[in-house]
Amino acid sequence: MLLSTASDECVFRLRRRGNKERGFFLVEVLVLSFLVLGCAASAMAYRALSKNCAVMGAELTAIYLAQEQIACIEARPASYLHAHGQIPWLGQGTMPVEKNGTRFEIVSSVSPYGGASELAEAEVRVLWQTDGHIREKTVRKLVSYHE
């Protein structure tokens, strides 16, 4: 009888320990699941920020290319501007311009401005493709004819 009492006591103690471990295991699973969810959320945020950075970089590059083209148009004499309605890329490099792994198409035109014979409106459109979508930036500026 003594032996059976001792073995019953051991079984009872094992059962009590097992109950504590089950509760602790649940807390561990919950903590680990929150950690995994946090890592996944931070990875998704990083991906979105990286994509946004690339889009903004391409847009800034397009603006700088348009400003470069307008500066080159302003430097041309009036005879050149009167002879060309559509103006080819005047900056450095060849068309299409490739910067930072993106190809940019530049379309420029000069048209007379209103009734003023000494002014013209220069319009530069920069086109590029990002994520399957064609993006466009247009810059307009009044330029004066000079010789």
- Structural domain including 15 reads 2-144
pLDDT at residue 1 in the model? 46
Distance CA 145, CA 98 (A): 31
pLDDT at residue 59 in the model? 92
Segment 28-65, tens digit of pLDDT: 888 999 999 999 999 999 999 998 998 899 999 999 99
Q: What pairs with residue 22 in β-bridges?
A: none
pLDDT at residue 130 in the model? 84
Segment 88-121, tens digit of pLDDT: 888 887 888 888 888 999 999 988 887 777 888 8
Task: Domain count for the chain, please give it.
Answer: 1
Average pLDDT in the 80-88 region? 83
Q: Where does residue 110 rank: exposed (0-12), middle (13-18), buried (19+ CB within 10 A)?
A: buried
The answer to whether the bond into 77 is cis (omega within 30° of 0) is: no
**Chain mean pLDDT for the chain:** 83
SS (H, E, C) the chain: CHHHHHHHHHHHHHHHHHHHHHHHHHHHHHHHHHHHHHHHHHHHHHHHHHHHHHHHHHHHHHHHHHHHHHHHHHHCCHHHHHHCCEECCCCCCCCCEEECCEEEEEEEEEEEECCEEEEEEEEEEEEEEECCEEEEEEEEEEEECCC
Specify the pTM. 0.69
Average pLDDT in the 123-127 region? 94
Average pLDDT in the 81-89 region? 83
